[in-house]
Amino acid sequence: MNRYTPGNRITLLRNGGEYFPALVAAIERAEREVWLETYIYADDEAGRNVTEALTRAAGRGCTVRVLVDGWGARHYLTRAIEHDFERAGVALLMYRPEIAPWQFRSHRLRRLHRKLCHVDGRIAFVGGINIIDDMNTPGQRPPRVDFAVQVEGPMLTSIVQTMQRVWALNELVQFRRSEVPLFPSPTHGQRAGAQTAKFVIRDNVRHRRDIERAYLAAIRTAKREILIANSYFFPGIRFRRALIAAAQRGVKVRLVLQARVEYALLHFASRALYGQLLAAGIEIQEYRRSFLHAKVAVIDDHWATVGSSNIDPYSLLMAREANVFVRDPYFSDQLRIELVRLIEEGARPVRPQHWALRPRVYKALLWISYGVVRVAMGLLGYGGNEWFRSGGAPRAARSERGDG
């Protein structure tokens, strides 16, 4: 799962406008089985189109399994869709369904955040796009920005195995009889293209830091450019040091981050790190045109990643995530063109001189938010000082309080 394999065909899918037609078309061609995992499954136009394709596949005799997160789907998945699945014979399973606010446990933050689908073990989809329409956000006019990839080739083996294993584990812990083996036999995917790639997951057992390590390996060897677009960017000490070291050795480091406020506490806490990053010469572009939900990056002219993992404590310390990492100049160039277009059409740079002149009240709000997140993570037992401590952050804090 952590090795690059040649012979893949990786197709970039931009937003739901490209993703959902490709996903539905693949499901319509299913002959044996369809497996789908998602954090959110909404009863809107996109969700109904996928539901109809899944139920038709089940009607043709295909085995169809849908795994949704118990927290992410609770406000979106309707009884109507559940009834449609039940009538068609689609197996629906919830990941950690035990959501009760009066019985909170820290382990319940370990959610299924990845977005995966495979059809007949011959084609798969990996990315950050939930089963929800791009426009399904209150007060939003331009569509939500997100990416996914369509995958064919030997990398399918890892995708099929992890989906089987997670399904079997959930049936086991929910005391259900399972026809899915907990340790599935390995398969061998057929060569489909000329791209080298690997599929990487994050879980709470053997692959706790695999996605973070894949990022860090690429950042530490970058020679010319690092371009990251991430909706929730709150990196830990290792990640910040790697980015700063890259900038100090002359690499152009650009971050495309969310400008709109979705989760206020994390929004302000992440901005407490801006001073440190800007002082190191890292360029920050805040995307303002619509909601940025992307979790992608391009490094130099040959390395790229698309997936579900944000660069924050939730994704890198708690949730189940999945990313595809690609070593291919053509794919990297495609993704880079999209990110540069986002910057040119909808982003605004954060100027170091303007950042230093922010009101004292705003600066205080940032560091209070940062402190609250740090304490909360410590109390929940995730990350602790290893995630937050930095020789740069305290100095940045003193600088923030002293300037302007």
* Minimum mean pLDDT range among 41-50, 175-184, 256-265, 305-314: 175-184
Average pLDDT, whole number, for the chain? 90
> Coil, strand, or helix at residue 91?
strand
pLDDT bracket for residue 399 (50, 70, 90) = very low
Give the residues across from 21 on adjacent strands: none
Tokens of 85: 């699945």
How confident is the model at residue 110, as a pLDDT? 83
- Residues of the chain with pLDDT > 90, as a percent, come to 73
Instruction: Verify whether residue 120 is a known catalytic residue.
Output: yes
**Which one of the listed residues 146, 300, 312, 328 is annotated catalytic?**
300
Per-residue pLDDT band at 205 (split at 50, 70, 90): confident
Mean pLDDT (whole number) for 335-360: 95
Residues 377 and 382: their CA atoms lie apart, in Å, by 5
Whether 55 has a pLDDT exceeding 60, the answer reads yes
> Catalytic residue among 43, 84, 113, 146, which?
113
In 29-146, beta strands by DSSP E? 33-38, 63-69, 91-95, 115-119, 123-127
Q: What pLDDT sits at residue 296?
A: 98
3-state secondary structure of 244: helix
Q: For residue 108, what pLDDT is reported? A: 59
- pLDDT, residue 393, reads 42
Closest CA to 85 of 46, 61, 58: 58
pLDDT of residue 138: 67
* Per-residue pLDDT tens digits for 187-203: 777 899 999 999 999 99
User: Do strands 252-258 and 225-230 pair parallel, antiparallel, or not at all (unpaired)?
Assistant: parallel
What's the predicted TM-score (pTM) here? 0.92
Q: 389: pLDDT confidence band, cut at 50, 70 and 90?
A: low
- Statement: residue 306 has pLDDT above 50: yes
Q: Which of 72, 79, 81 has its CA nearest to residue 99?
A: 72
- Residues in CB range of 311: below 8 A, 6 or more apart: 215, 228, 230, 232, 233, 234, 235, 239, 295
Pairing mode of beta strands 283-287, 252-258: parallel
pLDDT score of 152: 98
The pLDDT value recorded for residue 183 is: 81
CA separation for the pair 54, 28 (Å, rounded): 8
Annotated active-site residue in 198, 207, 295, 363: 295
Closest C-alpha among 65, 85, 20 to residue 163: 65
Q: Where are the beta strands (DSSP E) in 54-194?
A: 63-69, 91-95, 115-119, 123-127, 147-152
Q: What is the pLDDT of residues 96-146, one digit of tens each?
A: 986 555 454 555 568 999 999 999 999 999 999 999 999 987 666 789 999
Please write down the HEC assignment for all residues of 341-392. HHHHHHEEECCHHHHHCCCHHHHHHHHHHHHHHHHHHHHHCCCHHHHHCCCH
Active site residue 302: no
Tell me whether residue 300 is one of the annotated catalytic residues. yes
Q: What is the pLDDT of residue 313?
A: 87
Which pLDDT belongs to residue 142?
83
Number of neighbours of residue 220 by Cβ within 10 angstroms: 12
Q: Kindly tell me if the per-residue pLDDT of 16 is higher than 70.
A: yes
Mean pLDDT over 54-70 rounds to 97
CA distance linking residue 360 with residue 236, whole number of Å = 25
* Active-site residue, from 44, 120, 301, 333: 120
- Whole-number pLDDT of residue 392: 40
Q: E strand or H helix at 200, and its extent?
A: strand 195-202
Q: How confident is the model at residue 175 (pLDDT cuts 50, 70, 90)?
A: confident
More confident residue, 381 or 358: 358
The H or E element spanning position 163 is: helix 156-173
Which of 118, 198, 267, 293 is catalytic? The answer is 293
pLDDT for 244-298, tens place per residue? 999 999 999 999 999 988 888 888 999 999 999 999 999 999 999 999 999 999 9
- For residue 253, the cross-strand partners are 226
Report whether pLDDT(394) > 50.
no
Nearest by Cα to 147 from 278, 294, 11? 294
Residue 43 among the catalytic residues? no
Q: Walk me through the domains of the chain, giving residue ranges and CATH numbers.
A: 5-199 (3.30.870.10), 210-402 (3.30.870.10)
To the query of whether residue 363 is one of the catalytic residues in this protein, the response is: no
Q: pLDDT band at 1, cuts 50/70/90?
A: low
- 326, 328, 332, 333 alpha-carbon torsion, rounded to 10°: -170
Spatial distance between the Cα atoms of 70 and 237, rounded to a whole number of angstroms: 31
- Predicted confidence at residue 56, as pLDDT, reads 98
Reply yes or no on whether the pLDDT at 398 is more than 70. no
Element (H, E) at 136: none
Catalytic residue among 43, 69, 84, 115: 115
Would you say 305 and 326 are in contact if contact means Cβ atoms under 8 Å apart?
Answer: yes
